[in-house]
Structure 1
Amino acid sequence: MSPPTPVVVEYLTPRHVAYLGLMHMLGAMLLDGIINFALGSLMFSKTKSPIMLWGPLPNSLAADAAFTLILQTTFTWFLDRLAVRNDLKKGLVEPLSMPVNAHPWLRWFVGLDDDSADDYSGNNRTGGGYGRVGERRAYSRPHHNSSGAGSSRGRSRRGSLLGIGKSDLQRFQSRGQEILRFHGKRIGVLIVASFIVFWPITMVILTVMKASGVGRDDGPLKGDFNVWPFPEVFKGIYGFLTGIITPLISYIALIYEGESMIRFSSLDSEDEEEDEENEELFQDSDEEVMMEQLDRVA
Structure 2
Amino acid sequence: MTAKTKVPVIGLTTRHIVYLIVMHTIGAMILDAGINFGLATAMYKNNKHPVYIWPLPNTLAGDMAVTIIIQQALTWILDRLAVRGDLKKGLVAPLRMPSDASSLVRWFVGLKDVKAAGKPGFAFHFKRVVVYIVATFLLYWPITIGVLYGLKSGHVGAAVADGAHAAGEFNLWPFPQIFKAVYSAALGLTTPFVSYVTLIYEGETQAASSGAAAVSAAGDEESKVAN
For normalisation by structure 2, the TM-score amounts to 0.92
How many percent identity over aligned positions?
46
Code of the aligned partner of 2:140? F
Q: Which residue of 1 aligns with 2:93?
A: 94
Q: CA deviation at 1:230?
A: 1.0
Report the secondary structure of 1:51's partner residue. coil
Distance 2:152 2:5 in 1: 55
* Unmatched 5+ stretches in structure 2: none
Deviations 1:80-113 (A, max 9, x none): 1111111111111111000011111111100123
Deviates more, 1:5-14 or 1:264-273: 264-273
Matches within 5 A, 1:52-201: 52-57=52-57, 59-114=58-113, 117=115, 179-201=121-143
Deviations 1:138-162 (A, max 9, x none): xxxxxxxxxxxxxxxxxxx9xx85x
| Match among 146, 168, 187 for residue 223 of structure 1 | 168
Report the secondary structure of 2:121's partner residue. helix
Code of the aligned partner of 2:122? L
Code of the aligned partner of 1:70? I
Q: Which residue of 2 aligns with 1:171?
A: none
Distance 1:56 1:243 in 2: 27
Matches within 5 A, 1:36-47: 36-47=36-47
Deviations 1:137-186 (A, max 9, x none): xxxxxxxxxxxxxxxxxxxx9xx85xxxxxxxxxxxxx8xx522111111
Deviations 1:227-255 (A, max 9, x none): 52111111011011111001111111111
Kept in 2: contact 1:109–1:252 (CA 8 A): yes
Kept in 1: contact 2:109–2:197 (CA 8 A): yes
Deviations 1:186-234 (A, max 9, x none): 1111111111111001101101111211111202412221152111111
For normalisation by structure 1, the TM-score amounts to 0.71
Distance 1:20 1:112 in 2: 22
Does 2:10 correspond to 1:10? yes
Deviations 1:251-294 (A, max 9, x none): 1111111001011111212222332333344x2xxxxxxxxxxx
Summarize the Cα distance change of 1:89–1:193 in structure 2 as closer, same or farther, 3 Å threshold: same
Report the secondary structure of 1:5's partner residue. coil
Kept in 2: contact 1:25–1:246 (CA 8 A): yes
Code of the aligned partner of 1:43? M
Kept in 1: contact 2:5–2:89 (CA 8 A): no
Kept in 2: contact 1:50–1:227 (CA 8 A): no
Say how many residue pairs are matched. 223
Larger Rg: 1
Q: CA deviation at 1:19?
A: 0.4
Q: Which residue of 2 aligns with 1:294?
A: none
Q: Which residue of 2 aligns with 1:24?
A: 24
Kept in 1: contact 2:158–2:172 (CA 8 A): no
Q: Which residue of 1 aligns with 2:184?
A: 239
Q: Which residue of 1 aligns with 2:147?
A: 205
Kept in 1: contact 2:5–2:87 (CA 8 A): no
Distance 2:5 2:160 in 1: 61
Kept in 2: contact 1:51–1:227 (CA 8 A): no
Kept in 2: contact 1:52–1:224 (CA 8 A): yes
Matches within 5 A, 1:266-285: 266-281=211-226, 283=227
Q: Which residue of 1 aligns with 2:203?
A: 258
Deviates more, 1:92-101 or 1:47-56: 47-56
